[in-house]
């Protein structure tokens, strides 16, 4: 799906961009899929289109997800979906990463803000694909998982790595078909959940994969360019203070 060779996905998944620090209770909810960060329909359609192309193409015809302008993490918007078994008496709290203003959200959680994650939307889709929920049947995320398992058995060369330089002909043709169409970047009503700061240290570690980020306040900043991928396990709190100018809320707690 991602245009990668055998082992490349596992070797590059556990990095700062794709892991977030979460509170222990929120980690429990995320593991059990009681809450999920779901990409917008437009972004999910691009991921589905890319997955369909790569899963039916030879290695030299696949397109790296990182080369698609429309899948830039900074421009992908997510909603926080709440499962029916989450509990109607629980309160979610969100904090504005710039002003520090805290808001309480109760069932049916209709005023939760939108979010931006630092992880690739393809990685988020992969995290959701093992078990999409029944009420997502009309959402492209539902079909991404089906595409990943629809082309079996695999040919012998299936796990060969895509060439270092993407096929210019394929990339050009797909730019016309919508692969490279840039999506609108988040507006002022959307929030950014930043990856954890490499300098923070905690005793307890609770890693969580791409697309899942819930936090409590800290004092780190995000005014530097994203560092090179570093293998690092997430911890039991998440830093939202690195959100860019214009972001609004980040989920920080539940009660």
Task: Tell me what pLDDT residue 215 has.
Answer: 41
The pLDDT value given to residue 14: 73
DSSP state letters, 224-248: SPPPPP------SS---TTPPTT--
Neighbours of 147 (CB within 10 A): 21
pLDDT above 70 as % of the chain: 50
Predicted local confidence at residue 158, as pLDDT: 59
> How many whole angstroms separate alpha carbon 179 and alpha carbon 182?
9
Q: Which residues, given as ranges, of the chain have pLDDT below 70?
A: 1-9, 12, 20, 130-136, 150-255
In this prediction, residue 54 carries a pLDDT of 83
pLDDT at 118: 81
Residue closest to 234 by CA, chosen among 9, 12, 4, 20: 20
Give the pLDDT confidence score for residue 146 in this predicted structure.
79
* pLDDT recorded at residue 128: 81
- Domain positions in the chain: 8-254
Dist CA 18 CA 117 (whole Å): 9
**pLDDT per residue over 55-103, tens digit each?**
888 778 888 887 888 888 888 888 888 887 787 788 888 877 778 888 9
pLDDT of residue 207: 45
- C-alpha distances in angstroms, 228 versus 12, 19, 231? 11, 14, 10
The Cα–Cα gap between 219 and 66 comes to: 30
* pLDDT tens column, 51-64: 888 888 877 888 88
């Amino acid at each position: 799906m991602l245009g990668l060779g055998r082992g490349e996905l596992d070797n590059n998944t556990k990095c700062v961009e794709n892991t977030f620090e979460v509170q222990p209770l929120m980690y429990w909810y995320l593991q059990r899929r009681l809450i999920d960060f779901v990409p917008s329909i437009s972004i999910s359609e691009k991921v589905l289109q890319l997955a369909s192309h790569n899963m039916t193409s030879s290695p030299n015809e696949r397109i790296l997800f990182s080369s698609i302008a429309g899948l830039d993490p900074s421009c992908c918007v997510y909603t926080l979906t709440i499962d029916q078994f989450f509990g109607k008496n629980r309160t979610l709290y969100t904090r504005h990463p710039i002003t520090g203003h805290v808001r309480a959200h109760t069932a049916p959680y209709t005023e939760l803000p939108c979010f931006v994650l630092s992880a690739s939307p393809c990685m988020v889709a992969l995290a959701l694909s093992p078990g999409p929920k029944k009420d997502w049947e009309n959402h492209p995320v539902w079909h991404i998982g089906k595409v990943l398992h629809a082309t079996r058995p695999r040919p012998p060369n299936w796990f060969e790595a895509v060439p270092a330089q993407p096929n210019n002909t394929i990339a050009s043709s797909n730019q016309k078909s919508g692969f490279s169409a840039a999506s609108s970047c988040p507006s002022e009503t959307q929030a950014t959940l930043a990856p954890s700061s490499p300098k923070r240290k905690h005793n307890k570690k609770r890693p969580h994969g791409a697309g899942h980020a819930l936090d409590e306040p800290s004092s780190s900043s995000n005014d530097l360019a994203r560092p090179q991928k570093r293998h690092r396990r997430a911890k039991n709190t998440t830093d939202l203070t690195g959100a860019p100018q214009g972001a609004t809320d980040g989920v920080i707690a539940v009660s």
